[in-house]
Each structure stands twice: as structure tokens, then as C-alpha cells.
């Protein structure tokens, strides 16, 4: 019997399933998608899906640190129905590798760390004047000038976008706020935290627990990886050879994948995306390990652009016996690749060794007790300037009875809370 189905059991799909009561088809054997947690004992190589009773494990997340920022009251209330949320004020820095200099994030609001002459030059070059839509590089150069772009913005975004930043449209510009008055104040004194992620929350028991509790109230069918959608017959075909009929689909799967599964010709060049290799590391804490939640890098020997510290957010990312001792650290390291250009296993092993050595050289770690890579194929979505691809793709899918929802489904940048809100909203619309 045909019905309405949900594809994808990540946070968005679980919210949609909770609100609608409709079945969710998930490729993995666990809920949560890239927000799933897993565990590794010191010295072990095989991940565990559940925390052992003795707690002597490092806890990691598949997609790196997913700290929950923003979100309306409905989304926050929904999360709090399943878990307790702890609030945090962001501690983050830009690390100017060439100078060995840490500057609080965002760089443009802490210019005093550059010294008087460079702060004065940076202020003279900054501009709050709006400009028409353009590329990321042009937008950054216009607003922040040559000095700050040479020091940080250009090189960081070249890593973060895997070299796309001088060709893709300037989107999500709120990530790099421009307020000249605040920049002037920050050239001489401390300023209030600014930016979209200045404050965030995180489940005290971890995202994995939140996903499992959400899933417990849903009808989730695990191990059902989509390989094809026959939109004419309204049939979803799975990798195990099974299929299911549908009247309507709610899909959280990446927009480019859904277009491929349906065999649709959108008629325009697909918008690009970047993949991310997340390396999770559990280690003895180094003498120069920062207390930040994450650090941005414009340059690194290994090619990573961000290092985050799970255990700076919550020491329950550490083995039970190490909590409170401040002698261990749980880290995630992110490196971007052009969409789908996954490194080989040999390349990943070499990269892992190089990162561990670089973290030791930085003084972040001493002895690494575990290191484990995970791959996020569609991690960040971008658009070509003035590209109609996204809107055309969404429209064509809706004409076939397929509604895309969430961050990857709609090809937009947003956090977990907003994706949960979108899932709840669409799920309520499709409730029987």
C-alpha cells in the first residue's frame, strides 16, 4: 500500500517522523546521521556503538563537534523533551600559524592583538558598504581589506571551501559579521561575543543519546539505503533489493543525490559541495593545548582548517577515569575536499599520522591513544553566482511528489536546531 514516507533518519528526519508518525527509512543501523556518537577504548581500533558500562572510552561524533546554535523555542523545547541541554558561551580563536599568534574569534573584532599599526591599517581597509552578490573572495576583500584577507580570510577560506572560494557565491555572510563600530572598539578593548554561534547548547548525555531517544518515538526502518527512485511508478528502491511504494516523499537526503536517484535533468550546472574528512583523536593533553572549543587555521602542514576540542565542551567525551584530571583531550580535526574526492585508505593513513604529529608539534597533545577518521561526503553546500540550480531542482522534485527538508535536503547552511524545526514543521503538514 502506498503512503507518505520519510527518507533519512538524521535529526531532521527524526523530527519529521516524530511529528507525523510516518515511517522513516534510514541507511545506517543507528539513528542520527552525521550527528551520531561512537566510542573508542584507548589503544583500540574498533569503534563501539554504545558506551560500555565502565565508561573507559573516548566519545566522538561521526561529523565532528555539532554544537547546537540558534533555533526557535519550539525546536529547543522539542530537544528538551528528550535530553537536558547545557548552555555554553563560545571560546574560539584564529591561529596565525606563521606568527604563532592566537587571536579571539572573530578576528575583525579583536584587532588589538595585531598591534597598533596593523590594527589601524585593518580599520582603514574595512568597509561596511553593501555590495551586489559576488564571489566569497570578492566579498571578503571588499569588507575586510587586503591585510586581514592576506593574514587569514583568503587562506582559511581556500582550505574551508577546498579551493572554491574565488568561484562560489558569497552566502551565509553572517558567519563573518561586519560592524565597523565594534571593530573600532575591539581595536582597543574587549568586546561582547559576536557571531551566529557566540552561544550554543549541547545535550549533557550527548547527541547520540538524543538521537536514540527521538528514534524511540518514531517508526524507523534501519539498513534501507536508497539506490534509485522510480518517480513514475512512485517507488523507492533500496540496496538490499527491496522497494516500497509511496504517494509522497519527505526527503532529508542531499539535494544532488535525490536528483541523481530520480534521474532528473535540472538543465543547469549542479551547485558544488565539499566533503570533509573528520579525524577524531583521543590523547594525553599537551602543555600548549588551548582551552578553546575550536580554533581556525589559515595554514596547516596537513591541510586541515579547524581543530575542535570535544572535551573543552564536556569532559564526558573523555574516559571515565580521566574526567576532571585535565590530562587528556578529545579532539576533532576537519579537512575539506572537493565534492566526493575521497582520499584512498593509504592516503588517509598518511594524513592521520601527519595530523597526529602536527598536533604534537603544536603542543596540543603528547601521546595519541586513539585516532579514527570518518568521511562526510556532502558536508558543506555552496552555490555558483546567480545559479538557478537549487530552486529548479527543488521545484522539479515537488512536481514529482518529493519534498526536500533540512540542511542538506534544501542545500542551505543551518544548524541542528533549525533543521529540527524544519522537520517538525513539514512533519505536521503531512500528518495523517
Query: Is the CB of residue 405 less than 8 Å from the CB of residue 422?
Result: yes
Q: Hunting for cell 571593530 — which residue is that?
A: 183
Cβ-Cβ contacts under 8 Å for 123 (sequence gap 6 or more): 111, 180, 183, 184, 187
Q: How confident is the model at residue 194 (pLDDT cuts 50, 70, 90)?
A: confident
Residue-level pLDDT at 172: 77
Residue 404 is placed in which grid cell? Answer: 526536500
State mean pLDDT over 173-188. 89
> Which pLDDT tens digit goes with each residue over 41-79?
999 989 999 999 999 999 999 999 999 998 788 899 999
> Which pLDDT tens digit goes with each residue over 256-296?
999 999 999 999 999 999 999 999 999 999 999 999 999 99
* Mean pLDDT (the chain, rounded): 95
Residue-level pLDDT at 75: 92
Phi, psi of 413, rounded to the nearest 5 degrees = -90, 125
Return the SS3 of 210. Answer: helix
- Whole-number Å distance between alpha carbons of 41 and 43: 6
What letter would DSSP give residue 138?
H
Q: How confident is the model at residue 1 (pLDDT cuts 50, 70, 90)?
A: very low
Query: Is the CB of residue 222 less than 8 Å from the CB of residue 10?
Result: no
Q: Kindly state the helix (H) or strand (E) to which residue 313 belongs, with its residue range.
A: helix 310-313
> Which pLDDT tens digit goes with each residue over 107-142?
999 999 999 999 999 999 999 888 776 899 999 999
Residue-level pLDDT at 432: 65
**β strands within 118-242, DSSP E:** 199-203, 220-221, 226-230, 235-238
Cα dihedral value 109, 112, 115, 118, nearest 10: 30
CA distances to 27, 229, 237, 353 from 248, in Å? 19, 12, 15, 47
173 closest CA partner among 184, 183, 165: 165
Query: Is the CB of residue 372 less than 8 Å from the CB of residue 280?
Result: yes
Q: How confident is the model at residue 21 (pLDDT cuts 50, 70, 90)?
A: very high
Q: How confident is the model at residue 424 (pLDDT cuts 50, 70, 90)?
A: very high
Q: Hunting for cell 538524521 — which residue is that?
A: 10
Query: Does domain 1-90+204-268+387-432 fall into CATH 3.40.50.720?
Result: yes
State mean pLDDT over 325-349. 96
Cα dihedral value 122, 128, 129, 132, nearest 10: 100
Residue 373 is placed in which grid cell? Answer: 577518521
**Would the pLDDT of 97 be above 70?**
yes
Residue-level pLDDT at 195: 86
Report the percent of the chain where pLDDT is more than 90.
Answer: 90
**Would the pLDDT of 369 be above 60?**
yes
Return the SS3 of 90. Answer: coil
Query: Is the CB of residue 7 less than 8 Å from the CB of residue 249?
Result: yes
Residue-level pLDDT at 304: 98
Q: How confident is the model at residue 176 (pLDDT cuts 50, 70, 90)?
A: confident
Q: Give the predicted TM-score (pTM) of the model.
A: 0.95
CA distances to 179, 201, 299, 419, 423 from 15, in Å? 36, 18, 38, 9, 5
- Whole-number Å distance between alpha carbons of 45 and 60: 13
Sequence spans of domains, the chain: 1-90+204-268+387-432, 92-196
Residue-level pLDDT at 2: 57
> Which pLDDT tens digit goes with each residue over 351-367?
999 999 999 999 999 99
Cβ-Cβ contacts under 8 Å for 203 (sequence gap 6 or more): 79, 83, 84, 85, 86, 209, 210
Helix axes 416-429, 11-20, angle to 10 degrees: 30
Residue-level pLDDT at 64: 94
Amino acid at each position: 500500500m502506498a503512503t507518505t514516507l520519510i527518507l533519512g533518519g538524521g535529526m531532521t528526519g527524526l523530527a519529521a517522523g516524530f511529528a507525523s508518525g510516518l515511517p522513516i527509512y534510514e541507511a545506517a543501523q543507528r539513528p542520527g546521521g552525521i550527528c551520531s556518537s561512537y566510542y573508542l577504548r584507548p589503544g583500540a581500533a574498533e569503534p563501539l556503538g554504545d558506551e560500555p558500562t565502565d565508561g573507559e572510552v573516548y566519545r566522538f561524533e561521526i561529523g565532528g563537534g555539532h554544537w547546537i546554535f540558534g533555533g526557535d523555542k519550539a525546536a529547543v523545547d522539542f530537544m528538551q523533551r528528550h535530553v537536558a541541554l547545557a548552555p555554553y558561551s563560545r571560546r574560539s580563536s584564529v591561529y596565525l600559524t606563521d606568527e604563532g599568534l592566537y587571536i579571539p574569534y572573530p578576528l575583525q573584532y579583536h584587532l588589538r592583538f595585531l598591534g597598533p599599526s596593523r590594527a589601524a591599517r585593518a580599520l582603514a581597509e574595512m568597509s561596511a558598504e553593501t555590495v551586489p552578490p559576488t564571489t566569497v573572495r570578492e566579498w571578503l576583500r571588499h569588507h575586510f581589506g587586503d591585510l586581514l584577507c592576506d593574514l587569514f580570510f583568503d587562506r582559511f577560506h581556500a582550505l574551508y571551501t577546498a579551493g572554491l572560494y574565488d568561484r562560489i557565491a558569497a552566502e551565509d555572510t553572517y558567519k563573518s559579521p561586519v560592524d565597523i563600530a565594534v571593530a573600532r572598539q575591539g581595536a582597543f578593548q574587549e568586546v561582547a561575543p559576536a557571531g551566529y554561534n557566540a552561544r550554543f547548547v549541547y545535550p549533557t548525555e550527548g547527541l547520540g543519546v538524543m538521537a536514540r531517544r527521538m528514534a524511540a518515538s518514531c517508526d524507523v526502518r534501519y539498513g534501507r539505503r536508497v539506490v534509485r527512485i522510480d518517480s513514475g511508478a512512485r517507488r523507492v528502491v533500496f540496496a538490499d533489493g527491496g522497494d516500497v511504494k509511496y504517494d509522497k516523499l519527505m526527503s532529508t537526503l542531499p539535494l544532488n543525490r535525490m536528483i541523481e536517484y530520480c534521474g532528473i535533468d535540472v538543465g543547469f550546472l549542479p551547485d558544488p559541495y565539499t566533503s570533509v574528512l573528520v579525524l577524531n583523536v583521543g590523547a594525553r593533553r599537551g602543555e600548549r593545548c588551548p582551552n578553546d572549543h575550536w580554533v581556525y587555521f589559515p595554514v596547516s602542514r596537513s591541510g586541515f582548517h579547524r581543530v575542535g576540542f570535544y572535551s573543552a565542551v564536556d569532559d564526558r567525551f573523555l574516559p571515565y577515569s580521566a574526567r576532571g584530571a585535565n590530562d587528556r583531550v578529545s579532539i576533532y580535526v576537519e579537512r575539506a575536499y572537493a565534492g566526493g574526492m575521497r582520499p584512498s585508505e593509504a592516503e588517509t593513513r598518511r594524513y592521520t599520522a601527519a595530523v597526529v604529529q602536527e598536533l604534537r608539534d603544536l603542543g596540543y597533545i603528547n601521546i595519541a591513544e586513539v585516532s579514527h577518521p570518518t568521511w562526510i561526503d556532502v558536508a558543506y553546500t555552496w552555490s555558483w553566482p546567480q545559479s538557478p540550480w537549487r530552486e529548479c531542482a527543488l521545484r522539479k522534485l515537488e512536481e514529482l511528489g518529493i519534498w526536500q527538508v533540512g540542511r542538506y535536503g534544501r542545500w542551505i547552511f543551518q544548524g541542528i536546531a533549525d533543521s529540527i524545526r524544519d522537520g517538525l514543521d513539514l512533519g505536521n503538514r503531512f500528518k495523517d
